[in-house]
Amino acid sequence: PAYVEPRWVSAFQSIAADTVADFCLQMYRAMGLLEGIRVVRSSDPAFRQAAQPIDDYFVDVRYEGELVRARRSPAGTLQLHEGGSSYLTLPAAPFTPAQISPSRDSRLRWMQSVLHCTHYIAGAGEQAYLNHGDAPEITFLTRDPIDRSDEAYTDV
C-alpha cells in the first residue's frame, strides 16, 4: 500500500481467481491495461484445435489419477520427466490436438498459426532461443530490461 494508490490496493483485494494467470488478467483489466486488446489463452482447447500440427510437443494426459504433461518422444511414445535425466514411458493413450502444448522450440510457429501477429516483444532470454525464421512476417522487438521489478509499474 505504500507504493501504489489505494484504488489499486482495493482492486487487488477484490479479485478472486483460481490461478495466478486468471488473477493477473483480472488485475490488468481492472487497471485498464487490456483495453482494446484481445486476450487468448494457449491452454484453451479451441486455440489448440485451431493451431497447425507440430512435431515437437507435450500432451496433457491422465496418469495415476492426475493430469500430467508428458513429452512426445521422436519414437512417438509419451515421456513423463521424473527429474534429472530420468523419464517414465507412459502407456499409449489416444489424444487430440486439444491436449497438445508446444515445446519451447515449436511454440512460436504454433502460436503464430492461430494469432497471426505482426509484432512480438520478448526479453533477452526469450530472444536467445526464438527462431525468427519460423515467423519472418513478425517484427521482433526486445523488451527493455526491468532493473528494479518492484518498481516496474507506476501511474503516469
pLDDT score for 148? 80
- H or E stretch covering 121: strand 119-122
pLDDT score for 143? 87
Q: Is residue 85 situated within a structural domain?
A: yes
Residues 116 and 95 sit within 8 Å (Cβ to Cβ): no
Q: How many domains does the chain have?
A: 2
Residue 62's alpha-carbon distances to 57, 59, 80, 91, 97, in angstroms, are 16, 10, 11, 10, 15
For residues 60 and 12, state if they share a domain. no
For residues 50 and 32, state if they share a domain. no
Q: Is residue 123 situated within a structural domain?
A: no
In angstroms, the CA 141 to CA 57 distance is 26
pLDDT score for 132? 92
For residues 51 and 97, state if they share a domain. yes
For residues 32 and 68, state if they share a domain. no
For residues 52 and 91, state if they share a domain. yes
pLDDT score for 145? 82
Q: Is residue 134 situated within a structural domain?
A: no
pLDDT score for 3? 78
Q: Is residue 137 situated within a structural domain?
A: no
Domain that includes residue 16, residue range: 1-38
For residues 18 and 65, state if they share a domain. no
Global pTM value: 0.77
Assign 3-class secondary structure to 55-68. CCEEEEEEECCEEE
For residues 51 and 95, state if they share a domain. yes
For residues 28 and 72, state if they share a domain. no
Q: Is residue 22 situated within a structural domain?
A: yes
Residues 109 and 135 sit within 8 Å (Cβ to Cβ): yes
What is the mean pLDDT, run by run of 10 residues, along the chain of 156 residues?
85 95 95 92 94 96 95 95 95 94 94 94 87 94 83 66
